[in-house]
Amino acid sequence: MAEVTYLEALRQGLFEEMERDKEVLILGQDVGKYGGAFKVTEGFQERFGEARVIDTPISEAAIVGAAAGAAHMGMRPVVEMQFMDFISCAYDMLTNYVATARYRAGLSTPIVVRGPSGGYVRGGPFHSQNPEAAFFHTPGLKLVCPATARDAKGLIKAAIRDDDPVIYFEHKYLYRRIKEDLPEGDEILTPIGQARVANEGTDLTIVTWSAMVWKALESAEIIEKEDGASVEVLDLRTLLPMDDEAIIASVRKTNKVLIVHEDTRTGGVAGEIAARINEKAFEWLDGPIMRVTAHDTPVPYAPPLEDFVLPQTEDVVKSARWLLAY
Amino acid sequence: MAEVTYLEALRQGLFEEMERDKEVLILGQDVGKYGGAFKVTEGFQERFGEARVIDTPISEAAIVGAAAGAAHMGMRPVVEMQFMDFISCAYDMLTNYVATARYRAGLSTPIVVRGPSGGYVRGGPFHSQNPEAAFFHTPGLKLVCPATARDAKGLIKAAIRDDDPVIYFEHKYLYRRIKEDLPEGDEILTPIGQARVANEGTDLTIVTWSAMVWKALESAEIIEKEDGASVEVLDLRTLLPMDDEAIIASVRKTNKVLIVHEDTRTGGVAGEIAARINEKAFEWLDGPIMRVTAHDTPVPYAPPLEDFVLPQTEDVVKSARWLLAY
Amino acid sequence: MFYYLTLTRSLEQRLVNLYRQGKVIGGLYSSLGQEGESVASAYALQSGDILSPLIRNLGSMLVMGARPVEILRQYMAKQTSPTAGREMNLHFNDFDLGYLGQISPLGDMIPVMAGICLSFKVRGEPRVGLVYIGDGGASTGTFHEGVNFAAVQAVPLVVIVEHNGWAYSTPTAEQTATLRLADKAKAYGIPGITVDGNDVLAVYAATKDAVARAREGGGTSLIEVVTYRRKGHAEHDDQRYQPKDEIAHWADTNDPVDRYVATLLGQGWATDDDMDAARQRVRAELDVAVAECEDDPLPEGAMALSQVYASPPEEERLWFRRLDG
Amino acid sequence: MFYYLTLTRSLEQRLVNLYRQGKVIGGLYSSLGQEGESVASAYALQSGDILSPLIRNLGSMLVMGARPVEILRQYMAKQTSPTAGREMNLHFNDFDLGYLGQISPLGDMIPVMAGICLSFKVRGEPRVGLVYIGDGGASTGTFHEGVNFAAVQAVPLVVIVEHNGWAYSTPTAEQTATLRLADKAKAYGIPGITVDGNDVLAVYAATKDAVARAREGGGTSLIEVVTYRRKGHAEHDDQRYQPKDEIAHWADTNDPVDRYVATLLGQGWATDDDMDAARQRVRAELDVAVAECEDDPLPEGAMALSQVYASPPEEERLWFRRLDG
Ligand SMILES: Cc1ncc(C[n+]2csc(CCOP(=O)(O)OP(=O)(O)O)c2C)c(N)n1
Ligand SMILES: Cc1ncc(C[n+]2csc(CCOP(=O)(O)OP(=O)(O)O)c2C)c(N)n1
Ligand SMILES: [Mg+2]
Ligand SMILES: [Mg+2]
């Protein structure tokens, strides 16, 4: 066992897959000599050479498109977005080309597009986004959002081996803040599409993912301590495909649901989750499905503004209490 | 009064605004001499000149960006996407630049981006899309989706006069299939943000917009005739901002809701609507909120495939009956 | 090449007939007057190479080995078509034969082809890619990003810019202020030349050179082929924006097939009889192809659900279809 | 110009100090060694013209009239900043003074500036726009679409391509295979020239020409300014990928301020005393500016909600914040 950060776990996962399969390539801005803006691929180019770790021009659409082309030929390219905010520059390529390739033309496109997302780091409107909802609506893509170091490793490895295109959202706030003991010998693989019960509980379910898992756990602890109620925290891990069964099972147990995500509210992923719970477990609900999310604004820069816009533990606690009292 | 098609009503609205305000510009591919792929701007260049009706290169991001720049200077550019499917090429410009301009920098950006969307026309995966959900998640944008000829006119005029950026989704299936008598003298303006009760009813509410309004009305008629139940059809007209009050009022009356949209299901706009109803009218619901939508696939080309993937009247009727019997 | 030129033109003619009969379901796009560059450029490739055609590169696909019956089935949305009716016209692939189907958003195929060629380079395979783009499509951001990426990575890619005067109704002068589209190569530091697109031998020679250079590790290059779109953007387009005499001038004096026939005869490479034989062969093949597929069934609706993902291959997704009652 | 060069360099130095004290909240970006081209190019504009700076064009904004205290407030996220703490560093506008704030996605400002210049042209106003792009940013699709659009519409826009050798850690040779970035102009059929970016008079003269041409209806043009980024991408970047002697070489032999000072003295246009006076003026002004804003408050959280839309200006959006209990 060794204690590793979220970032180091991710780095290990990538490294192991590069070692295992010579078809795995890395493409992105400054990923080579520099090792990436957050140093996720530090040392990779020395180890695997310039042919497999490629510094690219500032051309998100071309990088994703080129990865898709190489993937058609049997390679397994991993694309880094310097910040996930810039994935919007490859929106057409991902939604129109990559996502539809298998459906419309039988093409296999096993690529991974990964990069830092999320706020709480004073990054302002263009270095704090959570663009998962933009792709959640696109059949053909898979979306993963690890919350723990173990899953950062397990999901990147699973994503690389997956035969479908995967967008892998790292949370930059967690990079060096989360640490975990991981076994050194065994292989860690987290299956895509399976949620994880991060905390067992009976009175209320919080459905969440990525950095919000930690705020949910903190809230559960507070409520347990102060209110004596027991809160289940479900870490979705994968948004596409979504583990409906795990969600419904938890709802049937607790009968109350709070969905928490960092991204803005209107059109966010929580809406779909609420709709699915409503469709599949309406009779099991003892209160409205509630959402705690960011406000519907860009993420502002100044700390008090950012803190106000993004969801905080106290917001989760407040809504959970409201629901518990319902 | 004169009977006009949806397309002609739209054309009139655009024309009147061009006449009224010399700051209104039209930009797009083949909008000038050719009058646009669907002839929405036919004759405009002759009337208003090449300076105000501009044939552009195939550069969606640049067209939208240029419109934004001109709008900052006080102009009111209207951009045509040849097909709304290609708006994905301007996704970054719309979501990162245009939508945030007022919030982050106090910039006024009164542009309209309009074009044909929707299926049922054997257009295949890239000429049938309903990309509203892609933008529904972006604070700062307004989204309008006219279903009737009157609204096609009234909403384009309101959109042009609006001080916020508006995406205006026309439905190409309706272009020449819908006709309506419109007054010739008076000005038609449809306020942005107000839903319309397309059919009054008491037993079930169908919340919908654009071409699906017609399938909902057809379903309401069938159910009225065959089942003796009364179905309210709410035409949202505007998705952003959404008329929550109208939705909640109808739900309080009927206690059962079916949301119908043409776009794919997962992450579609219906999820948000379901979540809002759940939050604001949970106690008024006598059954789960149901959704009828397209399947989660690209829109295929062959008629039987397209007909299967897109929602049909019989799907609406079936779900409505299920809910009425609940 | 004469065979393929004739096949292309004749197949498009058959498609027009089928379109008029309502059997071609979506739009129909024609390459009349510019088939030469498609056929000749594809002719310069070898087995193992891959090209990505646009809507007007029917000739390129036929040269690579696509069968007319597949094209007919695609246009008619038959279940037996290469995409089982999911996609239209030329939008299908066969990597063994060497072509990748396009998607509609113009420009997107260039990065993808750059990536295919990157795999050739990384693996040390002596294969080459070729991609087409129109005078209109060259205005897209993806064209720029893709060619620049290919150029800086020095991947074995040949970019053919089809300067056919129009992008739908937009003349090239309203698309770009460059007079020579070959000059776009200068932005990327790669070789760029202009050839007469209706001179099939010139196109063949220029492509052959570029392909050889790419195969030898010389990287990416660009060829502007100058030609003319004699029909409208699609079959429904009345072309009123195109000067009639301009069309007539190209038809009368600069048709790629006519010019090639004159060369064949002039050089004594073929006789009228040879050509008649080829024409007859084409006619017979197309008769068979049309007959073979005209009555093929359309796909069944429920076939629309599979293969969105490799795994799960198919998922039950729509609750409302299965509601009882 | 000497005043603005000194002001730019000194203000950046003050920001470094504030950054080390933790008062600059986000990243800090420096233009050390390339201030010359910013200041000189902006100097060529007139009142009514508009430029769009990048993160390293502090000098351009100061020339246009942005006040140091505004820059300080932006970096420190003060409520009193031009964006009330919503946006960072140079991301703010003042159309009266003549600048438009950038957004982070590189390239996007070019289409926007093309549109601003389109409005000048449509209205017949004798105004000009100027936009900067890096050697890295020139690889974006929006650069291509924007310059092409501007060129074909012949709008009065000057595009300054800052060839400073690096895009973050990526050297220009891995960004594009063109050796001269001015060659990118050829793709658009517009004039493109290369100037020594650290020769402020040369940059000024070249920009002045391009601006005059644009104002007279001559359309868009492109100027490559060759310079060097002597600091890292941002303050946290240790620059280990940049050869130390390369940095030293530029610092020692090719600093834009040193070179300008030599010219001023050599030509007798200014004396050491004049320059000391300017330096003192800058120091005094910056002392005042820092003192003026250092203790300004940060904005209050709830101010984050307004102005997403013009109408409604503010909406109650988050139910969960108002829950009772
Ligand atoms: C990104 C994008 N925008 C718009 C369109 C619509 N469109 C289809 S073909 C076409 C014109 C293409 O012209 P060109 O590239 O010159 O090819 P040609 O038709 O001349 O072969 C347009 C505008 C598209 N396919 N993709
Ligand atoms: C579309 C996009 N992708 C990635 C980035 C991240 N990024 C910010 S600055 C930068 C390097 C820019 O280099 P260059 O354009 O040469 O400007 P310089 O820093 O040299 O002034 C990168 C990659 C971005 N801002 N926008
Ligand atoms: Mg063309
Ligand atoms: Mg640079």
For the stretch C204-249, pLDDT in tens is 999 999 999 999 999 999 999 999 999 999 999 999 999 999 999 9
Could you give the domains of chain B?
A: 2-182 (3.40.50.970), 196-324 (3.40.50.920)
Residue C322: pLDDT over 60: yes
Pick from B220, B233, B291, B239: nearest CA to B132: B239
Contact (Cβ atoms closer than 8 angstroms) between residue A308 and residue D301: yes
- Atom 17 of ligand 2, nearest CA residue: D134
| Residue B109 burial (CB count, 10 A) | 23
Ligand 1 within 6 A of CB of C135: yes
Q: Which amino acid is at D56?
A: R
Classify residue D306 by its DSSP letter: S
Q: How far apart are CA D143 and CA C233, in angstroms?
A: 28
Residue C320: pLDDT over 70: no
Whether C107 is in a domain gets the answer yes
- Angle C255-C257-C261 from CA coordinates, rounded to 5°: 120
Contacts of C99 (CB under 8 A, 6+ apart): C50, C51, C52, C53, C60, C61, C64, C66, C93
Which of C139, C178, C190 lies nearest to residue D189, judging by beta carbons? C178
Q: How many CB pairs under 8 A join C and D?
A: 80
- Atom 11 of ligand 1, nearest CA residue: C167
Task: State how far the alpha carbon of D17 is from the alpha carbons of D12, D20, D22, D220, D297, in Å.
Answer: 9, 5, 9, 40, 19
Query: What would the DSSP string read from start to end of B131-147?
Result: THHHHHT-TT-EEE---
Q: How far apart are CA A53 and CA A22, in angstroms?
A: 11
Domain with residue C282: its CATH number is 3.40.50.970
Please report the sign of the dihedral spanned by the C-alpha atoms of residue A208, residue A209, residue A212, residue A214. Answer: positive
- ipTM confidence: 0.98
**Residues of B at the D interface (Cβ-Cβ below 8 Å)?**
25, 51-52, 54, 56-57, 59-75, 77, 92-93, 96-97, 100, 102-108, 139-140, 142, 162-164, 241, 279
Q: How far apart are CA D202 and CA D206, in angstroms?
A: 6
Contact (Cβ atoms closer than 8 angstroms) between residue A129 and residue A309: no
Residue C325: pLDDT over 50: no
Distance from CA of A30 to the nearest CA of D (A): 6
Residue D38: pLDDT over 80: yes
Q: What is the mean pLDDT of each run of 10 residues along chain A (326 residues)?
A: 95 98 98 97 98 98 98 98 98 98 97 98 96 97 98 98 98 97 92 98 98 98 98 98 97 98 97 97 97 96 97 97 96
Ligand 2 within 6 A of CB of D176: no
Which of D108, D146, D308 lies nearest to residue B92, judging by beta carbons? D108
Residue contact C183–D175, C-beta within 8 A: no
Q: How far apart are CA A279 and CA A274, in angstroms?
A: 9
D contact test, residue of C133, C143, C147, C148 with most D CBs within 10 A:
C148
The distance of Cα A135 from the centroid of its chain, to the nearest Å, equals: 12
For the stretch D215-251, pLDDT in tens is 999 999 999 999 999 999 999 999 999 999 999 999 9
Which phi and psi angles does B171 have, rounded to 5°?
Answer: -105, 115
For the stretch C95-132, pLDDT in tens is 999 999 999 999 999 999 999 999 999 999 999 999 99
Q: What spacing in Å lies between the alpha carbon of C225 and ligand 1's midpoint?
A: 17
Pick the ligand that lies closest to the CA of residue A115.
Answer: 2
- Atom 19 of ligand 2, nearest CA residue: D167
From chain D, pick out residues whose CB is under 8 angstroms from the CB of A55.
Answer: 169-170, 174
Pick from A70, B263, A158: nearest CA to C311: A158
pLDDT of residue D325: 45
For the stretch B72-93, pLDDT in tens is 999 999 999 999 999 999 999 9
Ligand 1 within 6 A of CB of B89: yes
Please report the sign of the dihedral spanned by the C-alpha atoms of residue C131, residue C137, residue C143, residue C147. Answer: positive
Tokens 């769009």, residue located: D52
Ligand 2 within 6 A of CB of A59: no
Q: What does the pLDDT average to over D183-209?
A: 98
Whether C316 is in a domain gets the answer no
Contact (Cβ atoms closer than 8 angstroms) between residue A199 and residue A253: no
- The set of long-range contacts for B217-225, using a CB threshold of 8 Å and a minimum separation of 24, is B218/B313, B218/B316, B219/B313, B219/B316, B219/B317, B219/B320, B222/B313, B222/B317, B223/B317, B223/B320, B223/B321, B223/B324
For residue C92, give both structure tokens. Answer: 């299908």
Which of B85, B274, B297 lies nearest to residue A275, judging by beta carbons? B274
- Which neighbouring-strand residues pair with B206? B233, B258
Whether C85 is in a domain gets the answer yes
From chain B, pick out residues whose CB is under 8 angstroms from the CB of A88.
Answer: 91-92, 95-96
Ligand 1 within 6 A of CB of B86: yes
Task: State how far the alpha carbon of B96 is from the alpha carbons of B99, B140, B171, C230, in Å.
Answer: 6, 10, 26, 41
- Total residues found in chain C within this entry: 325
Query: What would the DSSP string read from start to end of C187-226?
Result: GGTS-EEEEETT-HHHHHHHHHHHHHHIIIII--EEEEEE
Pick from A185, A150, A160, A154: nearest CA to A20: A160
Pick from C38, D122, C167: nearest CA to B71: D122
Q: What does the pLDDT average to over C310-318?
A: 74
Check A127, A171, A261, A295 and give the catalytic one. Answer: A127
Tokens 């390339």, residue located: D34
From chain D, pick out residues whose CB is under 8 angstroms from the CB of A301.
Answer: 25-26, 77, 83, 85-88
Pick from A139, C318, A100, C315: nearest CA to B301: A100
Residue contact B69–D103, C-beta within 8 A: no
Residue contact C298–B303, C-beta within 8 A: yes
Residue contact D148–B59, C-beta within 8 A: yes
Residue D315: pLDDT over 70: no
Which of D141, D152, D175 lies nearest to residue C141, judging by beta carbons? D141
Rg (CA), chain A: 19
Residues of B assigned a catalytic role = 127
- Total residues found in chain D within this entry: 325
Q: What spacing in Å lies between the alpha carbon of C76 and ligand 1's midpoint?
A: 22
Whether C206 is in a domain gets the answer yes
Q: Taking chain D, what is the end-to-end CA distance rounded to the nearest angstrom?
A: 61
For residue D59, give both structure tokens. Answer: 């000098």
Which phi and psi angles does B263 have, rounded to 5°?
Answer: -70, 170
pLDDT of residue B173: 98
Please report the sign of the dihedral spanned by the C-alpha atoms of residue A170, residue A176, residue A177, residue A178. Answer: positive
Which chains have 3 or more CB–CB distances shorter than 8 Å to chain A?
Answer: B, C, D
Contact (Cβ atoms closer than 8 angstroms) between residue C296 and residue C80: yes
- Domains in chain C, number: 1
Please report the sign of the dihedral spanned by the C-alpha atoms of residue A280, residue A285, residue A288, residue A290. Answer: negative
Contact (Cβ atoms closer than 8 angstroms) between residue B251 and residue B284: yes
pLDDT of residue D316: 60
Ligand 2 within 6 A of CB of A86: yes
Ligand 2 within 6 A of CB of D105: yes
Q: How far apart are CA C313 and CA A288, in angstroms?
A: 34
**Residues of C at the A interface (Cβ-Cβ below 8 Å)?**
83, 86-87, 91-93, 95, 100-101, 103-105, 108, 110-122, 141-142, 145-146, 148-149, 152-153, 307-312, 315, 319
Rg (CA), chain B: 19
Pick from C49, C70, C75: nearest CA to C127: C49
Give the β-pairing of A76-80 and A204-208: unpaired
Is residue A253 exposed (0-12), middle (13-18) or buried (19+ Cβ within 10 Å)?
middle
Is residue D315 exposed (0-12), middle (13-18) or buried (19+ Cβ within 10 Å)?
middle
For the stretch C146-196, pLDDT in tens is 999 999 999 999 999 999 999 999 999 999 999 999 999 999 999 999 999
Contact (Cβ atoms closer than 8 angstroms) between residue D23 and residue D76: yes
The helix or strand, by DSSP H or E, that contains position A264, with its residue range, turns out to be strand A257-264
Classify residue C238 by its DSSP letter: -
Range of the domain at D237: 2-300
Which of C95, C307, C315 lies nearest to residue A103, judging by beta carbons? C307
Residue contact B315–C320, C-beta within 8 A: yes
C contact test, residue of D139, D145, D148 with most C CBs within 10 A:
D148
For the stretch C266-305, pLDDT in tens is 999 999 999 999 999 999 999 999 999 999 999 999 999 9
Q: How far apart are CA B261 and CA B267, in angstroms?
A: 12
The distance of Cα C312 from the centroid of its chain, to the nearest Å, equals: 33
Residue contact B267–A89, C-beta within 8 A: no
For residue B315, give both structure tokens. Answer: 């799907």
Whether D322 is in a domain gets the answer no
Contact (Cβ atoms closer than 8 angstroms) between residue B170 and residue B289: no
Whether D306 is in a domain gets the answer no
Residue B186: pLDDT over 90: no
Burial C226-243 (b: 16+ CB within 10 A, else e): bbbbbbbbebebeeebbe
Whether D143 is in a domain gets the answer yes
For residue B247, give both structure tokens. Answer: 């939705």
Whether D103 is in a domain gets the answer yes
